[in-house]
Chains A and B, each alone.
Chain A
Amino acid sequence: MIALLLGPIGVAIVGSVVGLFYLGVDRRLVARMQARVGPPLVQPFRDVGKLMMKESIIPNGALRWLFQFSPVMCVMGSATLLLYIPLFGQPALFEGSGDAILLIYLLTVPSIALVAGGFASSSPYATVGAQREMVLMIGYEFPLSVTVVSIAWRILQVTDANAFAFSSMAQYPIWDLVGPLGLVGTLLLLVSLISVTPGELGRIPFDLAEAETELAGGLLVEYSGRNLALFYLGNAIRGFAVLSLVVALFFPYGIAAGIGVTSTVLAVIIDGAFFLVKVLLVMFVAVALVRSAMARFKINQASVFYLMIMTMVSLVGLLLIWADMML
């Protein structure tokens, strides 16, 4: 019972620390790629600390309870994600009770919190931002689901266990199952999942819901102080969760067994560190590199990109994996 209570709290705390740390790494990497020095790695912690001590203004026209509840919902929703994703090379905390399908649904909770907060603040900028976020959500949902389903379908061909469970995905890494044709298909799926990541996180080129230059902060325009800090924290946790999801789907490998480490403690430490490196690499490709190389999409371009291009890419990936299986 106590473990059931303390576990999620512990995961939430670890998730926020690691998430904020990755946010700092990301800002630093982007600064370096733009030939700047960039902020220190602890900058996101300072930002949150500062926001905590600022005044939290609730605008007159806002729906008070929803305005204050949405940031909390965003943090809780993001922390819940971490309970169902394998972290640090270990199985997820609630491994038995939820799988990838549940996770696809849970992924929408933080976005819905953002949208609700945006509408509740009754600012026209926030309303436009909230609508954009909804359009984006509809967009990236499809490539994301196709990717998860294709991987699970391929795993289903070799095992009777629940193919959507992350334990089966770790047991049968998708790369080991497919032949040459399927390899191309899996790569396409990886590309589409990586393109979903910045959209899921609201980063450039898909940061149109918060678009600082045109929407003055969009969804978050009316938020200040503690409420803004909670959204900031929630986004950091969600970032970590989504990156861990990419790792869990495509790179569920550990190295401890491979390099012949037998002691359990040492193996746990090595796999944990290796996991952090994997997340860092995925973040570098999916977030930092994309962010410094591209400008913001317009909303119609973003939905065409997800609904047409990336959906096509992931469907072709699915077909190739199927063909690889049948031939």
Chain B
Amino acid sequence: MGIDSLKRALWIYHVNTGSCNGCDIEIVASLTPRYDIERFGIKLVGSPRHADVLLVTGPVTRQMEPRLRRVYAQTPDPKVVIVVGNCGADGDVFHESYNLVGPIDQIIPVDVYVHGCPPRPEAIIDGVVKAWLKLEGATTKETT
């Protein structure tokens, strides 16, 4: 139990805040036999209540902003937020749009950025590993 079980059983909820779907397809690709992230106990879940990790894609449109805040609030602690794709980090190809309130770190705290447009599945898995380290820090702080 303890941190080890948390590290090895991350459940992921995927939030699309207006992405072009490129990043989302790469996330799904990491579930396929080639990358198979279920090996590490990582599972995509359908509800933020079940999640440990929020994978956020897209540049946050005006409509999505309150929803993103709510999804973040609905996720039980301890949790980490991973931004997948350049969109969430700086707006990427959409950065001039009138309809954006992002990037994501203006709205919810972000722990890990995965860059790329879209990032490769390897990069997403690497981001999840970085999130492990973050969680480790968070829980040891809590217990001490």
Q: Give A residues with C-beta under 8 Å from B.
A: 27, 31, 34-40, 43, 45-47, 49-50, 52-57, 125, 211-213, 215-217, 220-225, 228
Contacts and interface: CB of A to CB of B under 8 A. Distances in A.
Interface in B67-110: 74, 76-78
Nearest to A48: B5
Given A38-B38, A46-B5, 4 more contacts: A53-B1, A53-B2, A55-B77, A55-B78
B43 to A, nearest CB: 8
B62 interface: no
Contacts of A55: 76-78
Main secondary structure of the interface of B (DSSP, over half): loop
Contacts of A223: 49-50
A53 B2 CA distance: 7
Contacts of A222: 47, 49
Nearest to B1: A49
B50 A217 contact: yes
Nearest to A54: B76
Contacts of A52: 1
A49 B9 contact: yes
A157 to B, nearest CB: 50
B123 interface: no
Contact of B33 (A27, A36, A57, A215): A36
Contacts of A27: 38
29 contacts: A27-B38, A36-B36, A36-B39, A37-B36, A38-B38, A38-B39, A39-B38, A39-B39, A46-B4, A46-B9, A47-B5, A49-B2, A50-B9, A50-B52, A52-B1, A54-B52, A54-B78, A57-B74, A125-B47, A212-B44, A213-B46, A215-B46, A217-B49, A220-B50, A221-B47, A222-B47, A222-B49, A224-B50, A228-B49
Contacts of B44: 212
Interface string B23-62: 0000000000100101111001111011010000000000
Interface residues of B, number: 24
Contacts of A45: 5
B134 interface: no
B76 A225 contact: yes
B16 to A, nearest CB: 13
A56 B76 CA distance: 7
B1 to A, nearest CB: 4
Interchain residue pairs A-B with the least CB separation, the first 10? A49-B5, A212-B46, A55-B76, A217-B47, A49-B1, A216-B46, A224-B49, A46-B9, A50-B9, A217-B46
Task: Identify which of B5, B9, B47, B78 gathers the most chain A CB atoms within 10 Å of its CB.
Answer: B47
A36 B38 contact: yes
Contacts of A49: 1-2, 5, 9
Contacts of B50: 217, 220, 223-224, 228
Contacts of B47: 125, 216-217, 220-222
B79 to A, nearest CB: 9
A225 B49 CA distance: 8
B5 A53 contact: yes
Contacts of B45: 212, 217
A200 B122 CA distance: 38
A39 B41 contact: yes
